[in-house]
Structure 1
Amino acid sequence: MGAVREAQGALEDTREPNVVSYTALIAGFLKNGMFGDAARLFRCMPERNAISWNAMIGGSSKAGLNEEAVNLFLDMCREGVRPNESTFPCVLTSVANAGALGVGRSIHASAIKFLGKLDVFVGNSLVSFYAKCGSLDDSVKAFTKIKKKNVVSWNALICGYAQNGRGEEALEAFRRMKAAGLKPDSVTLLGLMFSCNHSGLVDEGYSLFKTAEMEQPGILRPEHYACVVDLFSRAKRFDDAKRFLDNLPFEPGIGFWKSMIGGCQIHWNRELAEGVAKRIHALDPKDTSSYILLSNVYSAAGSWEDVSMVRREIKEKGLKRITGCSWIEVHNQVHVFFNGDCRHPRSDDIHMMLESCLSSEEDEHWLV
């Protein structure tokens, strides 16, 4: 942080700073999470080129400021600065995170307009974008159009199948990837295990892990081990999950126990959930999500007194819940809704329509 401030002072002392100097300082601000400082400096620049625009768009994307990244891209085009191969992967990542399929299609068209032939980096971004927005057919089409596919290309396809619950297709893509002579990396394995996890392919997922353990142990990360725990827990194989945890080559963190308690919620295993929750609370007494998961287990089992007890404990300890939200894209605009939030400009209309739908359901029920 101090080095960035020193660089800022050096820029201010420079008689005629150029676009390179400004862009370097902006990159320093963004790297240190100082988005506000970067944005102010960017607006003050006497001259902006594609590199400085890309720095701001990429920084916004990495910071999770998806709307800002898209708006910057639009401003860049309005000012007549031509986007390049480095621009589109960043802005497509932001659009994918926002789930704005319509906006992303427009950006895809812009990429074709400005670049003509799309390189592998833009192609990979398109595969991920369409998959994250649930348009799997378009994701596969974008993949087939990539001429020189690399490991990232295959990972994007496999993870896309995983995100959309298509486990068999993910495994088939992996077989094709190996036939093409490419070796899987840690991302490949995680995508495959995730797809098996959510498709009920327990033995296949565990087999992938054991194969990697024997043939490529260097690609294994803690998240792969956590995925195995989740795999067994979801399949109600709690004894296998506990044995696997006992034999871990490292001390399991909170994420591992959360995977197990998630399985307890699915299968209403109250006793095991209580024991796992105690472990989580010992590791982090302020972890709210474990209380919520335990409350959900009690709720599924119909233990309403225990549900009230957990919620009261959350309140007494002053723990804050992360507000749930959902979003929908209508006419190329993304609308975000938080739980219990009435700030949407058309909130009254939305509630009126909801009440109308509920009333219609009640009327149909009485007619039956």
Structure 2
Amino acid sequence: MKTVKACKQILSLPNFKSVKSCHRLLHTDLIKTQKSDQIATISGAPDSSKSWLSNACQLFDELPQWDVVSITSLISSLTKQNRHNETFYVFSKMLNLEIKPNEYTLAALIHASTSLKELNLGKQLHGYAIKTSFESNVFVGSAVLDLYAKLKTMEEAQMAFEDTRDPNVVSYTALVCGYVKNERFDDALTIFTTMPQKNVVTWNAMIGGYSQKGRNEEAVSLFVEMLKEGVVPTQNTFPCVISSAGNIAALGMGKSLHASAMKTLGEIGVFVGNALVTFYAKCGSMEDGLLVFRKLPEKNIVSWNALINGYAQNGRCDEAIRFYHEMRETGMKPNSVTLLGLLSACNHGGLVDDGFAYFNEAKSENPSLLEAAHYACMVDLLARSGRFSEAERFIEELPFDPGIGFWKALLGGCQIHLNTELGEFAAAKILDLDPRDVSSYVMVSNAHSAAGRWQSVSDIRHEMKAKRMKRIPGCSWIEVGCEIRVFFNGDRRSSCSGEIHSVLRCFFDHVAEYASSSSLLL
């Protein structure tokens, strides 16, 4: 009864949608199960959820020969099309007909529960699976594992995995994805390395998970290992690993990935192409990025955003603005990301009036585009240009309370133009809003340092130490033979620490010698 109630709760949700494809699915299923003589029952195509429900109710009422196979086929089809509300409607009718679900029915329903983020419903279905001895079935077990990995705890997901008899690659992949999502990388790697067999989906899950969590070196290394294992990458593999290469500005590696994508895929599609444009932008190679962009067989708003933001981030504001207007000429409408890139370009170029013109244009023609980030960008634009009275007035007239980003933007401008009084005011606002943010303390400390207030610098450092706040160390990296080496500031724990410092000493000696020779020549 609990399951039926849960189904009814889902059916009562306001976002229940009708789908004409469901109507066609019913026809197909009837034909497959030799019930074509009953097709006339639902011959009229539904136009609303109400008419669909009416036709479906009539179908179930007039076809008493529905069985577990035909209903499971329909439920599975609906689930694959993400029509989860309809899925549970069919399930409720199945229960009314007193037809017991099998392992395939339960697996589809649990997956639908996961997609709807209905943990309680999924747990009830899991309980039913245990009661009917289906919990060890590989399809049910994989579905339960995925449910708990995405909506609850990894401990319960691990238990579901252990309860599964003969887990398959889907079971392993679901567990690996769960561990990566929860940033338990060691556990993910342990499961991954002990898998009896891996397919490209499993490799993609690992590479994509590491990439999304900022573990860029590991993502690139996994891709290389994948190739060594003879697994052919797909359209879903390349965007993740290319993104990771871009995050560490590994230009050589990225170009190799570009070549590999062309060789493997034949044609660079929009998703891989967008990743490549973003990659080249992060490496400062906009000419290569533009070449990729021009060769794309189709372009979407993400493609244009990657190009416009790339030029903006590299300080090439004129080109960013030019490509924005070129985009508009194609009929493509900007979104909030496009506008942010455009305002950033004006910011980097010091084009205050142009920035205000684009901002006001969006405000009057499409105000839904404007988000807090756009307002903060305008404050940054004014502060960097030294127009502090306008920046203060802009903050005062905001349609919402300014967040910490606004005061950081104002403080940054104050540091550039040595506006001590306003800088102190912004610094106080920053620390009030987020007393645990390390970057805020560092920024405020630098502001006091620039103004020569060493006692204030000392006080802030003591406060950070008392709160056990540590500054995230800066790092650099170098690409040698397609291998990425990362160096952290002050890190002496590296196994190559001695060699690194030895090379640095030689480098500094050469610099000193060159400087000495140059001074003699002058």
TM-score clears 0.5: yes
Counterpart Cα distance in 1 of 2:230 and 2:395: 57
User: Given the two structures, how large is their TM-score scaled by the length of structure 1?
Assistant: 0.93
The answer for the alignment partner of 2:471 in structure 1 is 321
User: Given the two structures, how large is their TM-score scaled by the length of structure 2?
Assistant: 0.67
Residues 147-180 of structure 1 show CA distances to partners (whole Å, capped at 9, x for unaligned) of 2111000001011101110111001111011111
The answer for the alignment partner of 1:106 in structure 2 is 256
1:346 partner SS: helix
- Cα shift at 1:300: 3.4
Contact 1:265 1:293 in 2 (8 A): no
State which structure, 1 or 2, has the greater radius of gyration over its C-alpha atoms: 2
Residue range with higher mean Cα deviation, 306-315 or 122-131: 306-315
- Cα shift at 1:46: 1.1
- Cα shift at 1:272: 0.9
Residue range with higher mean Cα deviation, 14-23 or 291-300: 291-300
Equivalent runs, 1:1-368 vs 2, <5 Å: 2-304=152-454, 306-315=456-465, 318-342=468-492, 343=494, 344=497, 345-362=499-516, 364-365=518-519, 368=522
Give the count of matched residue pairs: 368
Residue type of the partner of 1:296? N
Contact 1:291 1:310 in 2 (8 A): yes
- Cα shift at 1:56: 0.6
Counterpart Cα distance in 2 of 1:341 and 1:7: 38
2:349 partner SS: coil
Residue type of the partner of 1:347? H
Residue type of the partner of 1:129? F
Counterpart Cα distance in 2 of 1:80 and 1:71: 15
1:118 partner SS: coil
Residue type of the partner of 2:511? C
Counterpart Cα distance in 2 of 1:275 and 1:327: 37
Residues 276-311 of structure 1 show CA distances to partners (whole Å, capped at 9, x for unaligned) of 111112222233333332333344345555545544
Residue type of the partner of 2:278? S
Structure 1 27/339 Cα, relative in aligned 2: closer, same or farther at 3 Å?
closer
Contact 1:100 1:333 in 2 (8 A): no
- Cα shift at 1:38: 2.0
Structure 1 283/327 Cα, relative in aligned 2: closer, same or farther at 3 Å?
same
Q: What is the alpha-carbon root mean square deviation over aligned residues? A: 2.1
- Cα shift at 1:36: 2.4
- Cα shift at 1:19: 1.1
Residue range with higher mean Cα deviation, 109-118 or 281-290: 281-290
Counterpart Cα distance in 2 of 1:361 and 1:287: 41
The answer for the alignment partner of 2:70 in structure 1 is none
Q: Which ranges of structure 2 fall in alignment gaps of 5 or more residues?
A: 1-148
Q: Which ranges of structure 1 fall in alignment gaps of 5 or more residues?
A: none
Contact 1:265 1:294 in 2 (8 A): no
Residue type of the partner of 2:422? L
Aligned identity (percent) is 54
Contact 2:217 2:484 in 1 (8 A): no
Contact 1:124 1:153 in 2 (8 A): yes
Structure 1 253/150 Cα, relative in aligned 2: closer, same or farther at 3 Å?
same
Residue range with higher mean Cα deviation, 202-211 or 331-340: 331-340
Higher relative contact order (CA 8 A, sep 6+): 1
Contact 1:111 1:118 in 2 (8 A): yes
